[in-house]
Structure 1
Amino acid sequence: MVEIINKGTYLYNGNTIIAHDDDINIDKIAAQVKEIASVKELLNSDKARKNTIAYSILMNHNKSGDEKNLRIKFDAMASHDITYVGIIQTAKASGLKEFPIPYVLTNCHNSLCAVGGTINEDDHMFGLSAAKKYGGIYVPAHQAVIHQYMREMMASCGSMILGSDSHTRYGALGTMAVGEGGPELVKQLLNKTYDVSSPEVIAVYLEGKPKAGVGPQDVALAIIGAVFKKGFVKNKVMEFVGPGISNLSVDYRNGIDVMTTETTCLSSIWCTDDKVEEYYKIHGREESYAKLQPGLVAYYDGLIKVDLSKVEPMIALPFHPSNVYAIAELNKNAKEILTAVEADVQKQIDNPKIKFGLADKIIDGRIRVDQGIVAGCSGGTYENIHKVAGIMNANSIGNDYFTMNVYPASQPIYMQLIKDGSIGKLMETGSIVKTAFCGPCFGAGDVPANNGFSIRHTTRNFPNREGSKPGAGQISAVALMDAMSIAATAVNGGYLTPATEIDVPDEEINYNFNSKVYENRVYFGFQKAEKESELKYGPNIADWPAMPALSENILLKMVSVINDPVTTTDELIPSGETSSYRSNPLKLAEFALSRKDPEYVGRAKAVQELETLRSTAIKENRVLDTELINVFEAANGGSSENLKELIRNTEVGSVIFAIKPGDGSAREQAASCQRVLGGAANIAEEYATKRYRSNLINWGMIPFIIDSSENSFEVGDYIFVKDIRQAIASGREAFNAKVISAKGNRNITLKISSLTEDEKDIILSGCLINYYANK
């Protein structure tokens, strides 16, 4: 089904794989493609890697003149109503005058306006006023989820788009898109660049044709299950090639593509063809199409081979999209698999008072779920919902505990589903059809009952992404599935059913896009900035607090130690109802790590008080409190000589340790909330994604790395790093540090890899806002 080739691989004419191995004589490889003249010249990896689609697009957007160290300028950007207020506030504080490129502000995350009084709608009014003042594009609530709007209206072949949402992926439409934290969008708004080392490119070679009942989520989960734990495509570009692409509709391709985020890749790109050309024609944007394909011989740093004909209906069990099983296998071994998942989940939640059950969903030997959801940028496409309606037509979901909710991803999709009768079919089954909303993807809509089990065609199933609150004794779970298998399950009364076990209607799908809803409602203000107009501030919208520049030395106090294999951004700052406070840095910070380590905020604030005591004592020429005096003496080798000077030049900040933090969302608040509470660094064995590491840097926090052999931190430990400012400025990548602990002191080595000159300056300045203010 999915085969990984973990070595350099050539692709000839977009279809023929030529595995490359240093042990194979180049003449022997050349013999496989006799029709090519000068084969030895073509089979040169340095030259052939320039024949990938990704290379061409990256170089067309690179402003550095250096093929290895890229400085990218994007063609357009997108943010939603959880992120755009903070981005615009940061850019405004850094000197923003006008949006230099099309910037789309959608309202698909906080669109319910159900928590926190007026504050969500206040954010929307701020967004519209910002679009007017700076020349943006404003998409009101319920019109479209962010990525569907970008597909319909902004993607184009050969372009690049940056979004402040991790699922910014439009590769199937010929657009290389990247999801990043807000500060990276701020840089683009200020005419700066997105700086990244030239990424490796991994070919995803598709062959065959999916069998009836196998949908895009099945293919995506199969790929994620094969590559995630190996880190095979981490921070790389996935380039989809091969003859199987022609067997997939564009909606199908989009459904696979949007899930590439869950592999931890940097971006994605696909070959384009007449189906993509037709997509652009349907959407009235013929000029946006161009044929994209690799050169005659292209070199890839690895290859994922997917036989679409062998993919089965899949399910990703709690609590990660990579926890993948074939549904048939799960049904066959339900007790064994679900019991094992229960045990893993119990370890994750680390709370014996909360009892998480999945095996109790087995009724008479079959798994019965409580809820089905088809929504968002992955599930809410026209074809998905049209097929769901066809499968469920003339059936009933019943009047028992099972419920079914469907969210078309945009109003144009909704309109077409009404016209073709799909909405009526769904409503007759007892399903509820709702407007475009991302809530079921991040824990702000359709929360199941305690211990409920929801199956969803959405993007993620991390802990609490369904909205439960373990700290309050509540927990429920999400499994990811394709829309067709969710429909098959609904038809069978909530009993888990792969769509391959039912008759899936085979009918031609014709889609007509009606742009009137956007023309009549969306504010199109690009290049029409009303610079004298005022921003509209609701009472919850607050500026960022002042943040200090990096001191000569740094004393860190460990306030949280997380030894899970991977820590998600949802665990660092919960999604769901907390999103209402994302326009207020101080209020939002109160939720930091609240579901993973409820004591974190109190500990971090206590460290902030220590820093206040230190700075106040210096100003008033007073002696520090006993705890800090003893720690500083230990940091000074047990000597009191020159201690006052050491204290004067050493900031005290909090730090967290996690083995591999930052998987999942691009939300900058996973880092900024720590910074607002006095965080000065993270220490990790590795960072799960580039975007989380970038978020730390942009908020002035040092992304330290430590070898696993030296990782034995406990809450309350102090870590002293001498001459950190000079070391970072000079480009050092290894730092001697001292751990000062109740169990004894020890020396360790902390590392930082590959900081750009700008990243060094941002850390030295204390954050991105300070960096621009200094300039």
Structure 2
Amino acid sequence: MIKLYDSGVYVKNGSEIVPAGTDLGVSIEDAKKGTMAYSILEAHNTTDDMKDLTLKFDAMASHDITFVGIIQTAKASGLKKFPLPYVLTNCHNSLCAVGGTINEDDHMFGLSAAKKYGGIYVPAHQAVIHSYMRENYAGCGKMILGSDSHTRYGALGTMAIGEGGGELVKQLLEKTYDVPYPKVVGIKLTGKPKPGIGSHDVALAIIGKVFKNGYVKNSVMEFFGDGIKNLNVEFRNGIDVMTTETTCLTSIWETDEQVKNFLDIHHRVEDYKELKPADVAYYDGMVEINLEEIESMIALPAHPSNVYSIRELYENLDEILTETEANCKKLGMDIDLKSKVVNGKLRAEQGVIGGCSGGTFDNIVGALDVLKGHAIAEEFTLSIYPGSQPAYMMFNEMGLNIEAMKSGAIMRTAFCGPCFGAGDTPANNQLSIRHNTRNFPSREGSKPGLGQTSSVALMDAKSIAATALNGGFITAATDLDVEYTDTTATYKYDDTPYKNKVHNYGKTPVAEPEVELIEGPNIKPWPEMPELTENVLFKVTAFIDDPVTTTDELIPSGETSSFRSNPYGLSEFTLSRRVPEYVGKSKAVREFEYAREKGENPFEKFDELKPVYEKVKTLVEVDPTEIGIGSLVYANKPGDGSAREQAASCQKVLGGWGNICHEYATKRYRSNVINWGMLPFTMEEDAPFGDEAYLLVTDVRKALKEGIEDITAYVLGDEIKKFNLKLTNLTQDERQVLLDGCLINYYRKNN
């Protein structure tokens, strides 16, 4: 079904895979230039150096739980106007149902910012962020940067990257996105999916193969092959958006007449050009996928990589559920899936189809084809969220909304909430099956700390519909005989809702500096952050030994998203569902640093620090008021999942000055750590310390200034233990950001 190659390969004429050692008359270095990725990156690079890229993007996009913080940061750094098209959508806190006025306050801030700085503002319920960008901005050869991790438009010929807010701030200040030239991994598609197979089945199969082994981590996934022509554009979009869950950097696909027709329908045929690999192209890795062999898939809790075919699930049901429950328990999820097995079948109580992955026209039409003329079981609920108002209008015109409602499904407006726990939260101990992007712990909105635990399995829309008809018992769509609609022939687009409601739709935005930003009571500025000191005393306030730590664990999603505009308010939720005591312990350390910043001697003021200082004095001779004091999180592999910068900024607000890990799960989380002025340490050996240990790191400013990567540190326990940390792969600008204390300080100095 899916084959991974052990090494790099050549590809001839966009199809034939040739071993790297073959003499094709072109060097590997020259053949690397034959990828689609190379030409797009070269066109957006601001220098001739293709080893260390400095990129500028064609457009950017943010939603309503990220754009306030980004604009506040850019404003504090000297922002005058948006220098590129910047789309502000309102698809995450659309319901305005939590926290009184604060969600709508954020929306009004966004509208005033779009007017003041010259942006595009999309009101709530009009469109999911990525649906809007696909419909209006993605085009062949473009690059788009977004503050949502699922910023992926590769199927439309756009290399799109999801990053933390700091990286968008850099673009707003006309700086660059700096990244080493990435590996490019070929994804060769052949064959044609069987009836009943959908985009999520293909995507989950890929994630299951490449996530755990890191095969495409921080790489470009480049899709090519004869199989692409057998997938309509919406099917491709559905696969592409899930490439985020592989931890790749971005993606790009071959383009063809179907893409041209899609862009033409969206009144943008001029954005089309043919993209394909050169006659000879070199890839650093290769994934071969025979679409004919893809089965109906399911990703069980609590990660999209916990993937099985539905056939495999039922062949090994007890063993798989036992292992899943045990793994979830390690993450604080005490779920009971085995109680849901009846006569050898696993039963779910809820289904959701929506968001940037499930809410496409193709997925919803396929699900409604399954439901047509049937009734959903009374004990199962199904909610369907089209990705945009134009898509909703298409369903109305086709009569599909009526068919859906007759079956018992609920048709809703464009909203991302169920994907991160802000809508359709199941009852305690229920299992929800969803065609959306993630099934991390508590991603469905449950609160294990309060004894409320439900869980999510990911499935394709067609199989969710099949399950809905089968009393909630997990059912593969391939088990049904359904005549599916040719969505390529029926797809239409009417952008009248956007013309009437989107600020600056179809226009070149012009900044109006006289407009005042509307700031509600929950919109707070960032706190002042000190420069890095030469020597730093850390206290470990969270020691997490899980194989991977997600950004959802670092800062939970769901209703906490209402506080994304309030740094102090949001920080109260940091690690609350994984290390509940973290906030209190970090605040105590922050008091030590506050005293130092006032010119007091914290080692005299706080009894806890007195014995620590006795050990410090044996290692360094320095004024105690010049030793910075910060909290620190240790995790083996932090940062999988969302691009949200608050996973790092909340630590900084609470007094965090560093992370230590074996490796960072994603480039975007590491960038967030750096942009918020926390030292991104790594270490090769097992940690010689535990929770609540005091660590002293010496000469760190000198190391950053001189590019020294090996850092000396000490565990200040009953005995002093020396160990080594590393600060690797930092650009000169990143080093200066760390020295200045954060990105805001860095730009404030430079502007």
Q: TM-score range by the shorter chain?
A: over 0.9
Name the structure 2 match of 1:193: 176
Name the structure 1 match of 2:658: 681
Q: Distance in 2 between matches of 1:586 and 1:53?
A: 44
Runs of 4+ in 1 over 6 A off after TM superposition: none
Query: Superposition pairs for residues 223-302 of structure 1, below 5 Å?
Result: 223-302=206-285
Residue 389 (structure 1) aligned to one of 347, 368, 386: 368
Q: Which amino acid aligns with 1:690?
A: K
Segments of structure 1 that go 5 or more residues without pairing to the other structure are 22-28, 31-38
Name the structure 1 match of 2:532: 550
Task: Tell me the secondary structure at the aligned position of residue 427 of structure 1.
Answer: helix
Alignment deviations for residues 285-311 of structure 1 (CA, whole Å, 9 cap, x no partner): 110100000111000001000000000
Q: Is the 2:349–2:381 Cα contact (8 Å) retained in structure 1?
A: yes
Q: Distance in 1 between matches of 2:742 and 2:106?
A: 24
Q: Return the offset for 1:773.
A: 0.9
Segments of structure 2 that go 5 or more residues without pairing to the other structure are none
Q: Return the offset for 1:622.
A: 9.2
Q: Is the 1:176–1:269 Cα contact (8 Å) retained in structure 2?
A: yes
Q: Distance in 2 between matches of 1:368 and 1:541?
A: 43
Q: Return the offset for 1:662.
A: 0.2
Q: Return the offset for 1:513.
A: 0.1
Q: Distance in 2 between matches of 1:250 and 1:741?
A: 59
Task: Tell me the secondary structure at the aligned position of residue 486 of structure 1.
Answer: helix
Q: Distance in 1 between matches of 2:619 and 2:242?
A: 54
Q: Is the 1:335–1:362 Cα contact (8 Å) retained in structure 2?
A: no
Alignment partner of 1:731 is 2:707: yes
* TM-score, length of structure 2 as denominator length: 0.98
Q: Return the offset for 1:631.
A: 1.3
Q: Distance in 2 between matches of 1:625 and 1:137?
A: 51
Q: Distance in 2 between matches of 1:721 and 1:621?
A: 17
Task: Tell me the secondary structure at the aligned position of residue 568 of structure 2.
Answer: helix
% identical equivalent positions: 58
Name the structure 1 match of 2:548: 566
Q: Is the 1:607–1:654 Cα contact (8 Å) retained in structure 2?
A: yes
Alignment partner of 1:528 is 2:545: no
Alignment partner of 1:433 is 2:435: no
Residue 168 (structure 1) aligned to one of 151, 157, 163: 151
Q: Which amino acid aligns with 1:704?
A: F
CA change 1:394–1:126 in 2 (3 A) is same
Alignment partner of 1:717 is 2:688: no
CA change 1:620–1:590 in 2 (3 A) is closer
Name the structure 1 match of 2:398: 420
Q: Is the 2:534–2:699 Cα contact (8 Å) retained in structure 1?
A: yes
Residue 189 (structure 2) aligned to one of 206, 219, 226: 206
Name the structure 2 match of 1:747: 722
Q: Which amino acid aligns with 1:738?
A: Y
Task: Tell me the secondary structure at the aligned position of residue 246 of structure 1.
Answer: helix
Name the structure 2 match of 1:34: none
Q: Distance in 2 between matches of 1:225 and 1:422?
A: 33
Q: Which amino acid aligns with 1:19?
A: P
Q: Return the offset for 1:609.
A: 1.2
Q: Is the 2:688–2:715 Cα contact (8 Å) retained in structure 1?
A: no
Name the structure 2 match of 1:337: 320
Residue 464 (structure 1) aligned to one of 416, 420, 442: 442
Q: Return the offset for 1:504.
A: 2.1
Q: Distance in 2 between matches of 1:332 and 1:492?
A: 19
Residue 157 (structure 1) aligned to one of 105, 115, 140: 140
Q: Is the 2:120–2:509 Cα contact (8 Å) retained in structure 1?
A: no
Alignment partner of 1:369 is 2:348: yes
Name the structure 2 match of 1:35: none
Q: Which amino acid aligns with 1:293?
A: K
Q: Is the 1:99–1:526 Cα contact (8 Å) retained in structure 2?
A: no
Q: Is the 1:635–1:738 Cα contact (8 Å) retained in structure 2?
A: no
Q: Return the offset for 1:19.
A: 2.2
Query: Superposition pairs for residues 107-146 of structure 1, below 5 Å?
Result: 107-146=90-129
Alignment deviations for residues 582-638 of structure 1 (CA, whole Å, 9 cap, x no partner): 00000000000000000000000000112233344x448994434323212212327
Alignment deviations for residues 638-661 of structure 1 (CA, whole Å, 9 cap, x no partner): 78xx4xx34122100000100000
Alignment partner of 1:515 is 2:495: yes
Task: Tell me the secondary structure at the aligned position of residue 331 of structure 2.
Answer: helix
CA change 1:601–1:500 in 2 (3 A) is same
Alignment deviations for residues 172-199 of structure 1 (CA, whole Å, 9 cap, x no partner): 0000000000010000000000000000
Q: Return the offset for 1:46.
A: 0.6
Q: How big is the alpha-carbon RMSD for the aligned residues of Structure 1 and Structure 2? A: 1.3
Moved more, 122-131 or 499-508: 499-508
Task: Tell me the secondary structure at the aligned position of residue 585 of structure 2.
Answer: helix
Residue 674 (structure 2) aligned to one of 693, 697, 702: 697
Q: Distance in 1 between matches of 2:61 and 2:437?
A: 18
Q: Is the 2:82–2:117 Cα contact (8 Å) retained in structure 1?
A: yes
* TM-score, length of structure 1 as denominator length: 0.95
Query: Superposition pairs for residues 270-669 of structure 1, below 5 Å?
Result: 270-349=253-332, 355-400=334-379, 402-509=380-487, 510-524=490-504, 526-616=508-598, 618-619=599-600, 623-637=604-618, 642=621, 645-669=622-646
Q: Distance in 1 between matches of 2:619 and 2:633?
A: 26
Q: Distance in 2 between matches of 1:664 and 1:552?
A: 33
Q: Distance in 2 between matches of 1:747 and 1:638?
A: 11
Q: Distance in 2 between matches of 1:613 and 1:578?
A: 30
Q: Distance in 2 between matches of 1:132 and 1:493?
A: 50
Q: Return the offset for 1:64.
A: 2.6
Q: Distance in 1 between matches of 2:172 and 2:166?
A: 10
Name the structure 2 match of 1:761: 736
Q: Distance in 2 between matches of 1:659 and 1:326?
A: 29
Q: Which amino acid aligns with 2:181?
A: S
Q: Return the offset for 1:143.
A: 0.3
